[in-house]
Amino acid sequence: MIQNIKKDEWAVVLDFLAKGHSGMSRSQPAAQVIGDKYFSLLEVIIREGNALKPGDKVYIGDKKRDQVQYISGRIEMKDLTAAAKDELLDCIEKIVESNQEYFLKFFNESTSLTTRQHQLELLPGVGKKHLWAILDERKVGPFKSFDEIKTRVPLIPDPKTMVVKRIIEELEEKDRYSFFVLKLKEQEDKKPVREVLARA
């Protein structure tokens, strides 16, 4: 299921800092990026000679990296530059739209959290009526697109936006549950991401 996560192999640039920022020990090109599968917010150091722009996709996996020299660390929402924050929503929307099959698993396979709460109820705007409408329809057959959800469950007018809002909430750590966003173990949060990911 969606919680069985490992690490992002690719990331999308939110902001490119040609000379780095004031918090760095020396001037070097850096970028704030977001993973295109598990939404890891990272700061990466860019190899000299590469000029990136918001929306560019960069490889951050274990194999040879052409643009990224190394991952300097994990960052939080509050660490994003103003430019990165401006790009974040649009970037997440595009990722969700282009990976519908992956996110549809949540609608098709999600289960109960407790005897009183279902995972689907953690999507913004989903109450008991919405929940039962979704569960009844998925008994008929799995949802194959966001548009199909809108057609079969009129109470859910915009499932993509629900997912996007939930991802934002998880990035802001407003809830202890995380279905879409990669969370490192608490004891590892302060370690360099490149070390943690190497062991994943």
Which residues are paired to 42 by β-bridges? 33, 74
User: What predicted TM-score, i.e. pTM, was given to this entire model?
Assistant: 0.85
pLDDT of residue 18: 86
Mean pLDDT rounded to a whole number for the chain: 88
Give the DSSP H or E segment for 137. helix 128-140
| Among 14-23, 132-141, 145-154, 189-198, the least confident range | 189-198
Q: Which residues of the chain form CATH 2.40.50.140? A: 10-82+183-198
The tokens of 63 are what?
């194999």
pLDDT of residue 184: 63
Q: Which residues of the chain form CATH 1.10.150.280? A: 97-171
- Of the two residues 61 and 186, the one the predictor is more confident about is 61
Q: Fold for domain 97-171?
A: DNA polymerase; domain 1 (1.10.150)
pLDDT above 90 for 128: yes
CATH class of the region 10-82+183-198 = mainly beta
| DSSP code string of 54-117 | TT-EEE-SSS--SSEEEEEEE--GGGS-HHHHHHHHHHHHHHHHHTHHHHHHHHHH--BSSSS-
Rounded to the nearest 10 degrees, what angle do helices 159-171 and 82-98 cross at? 140
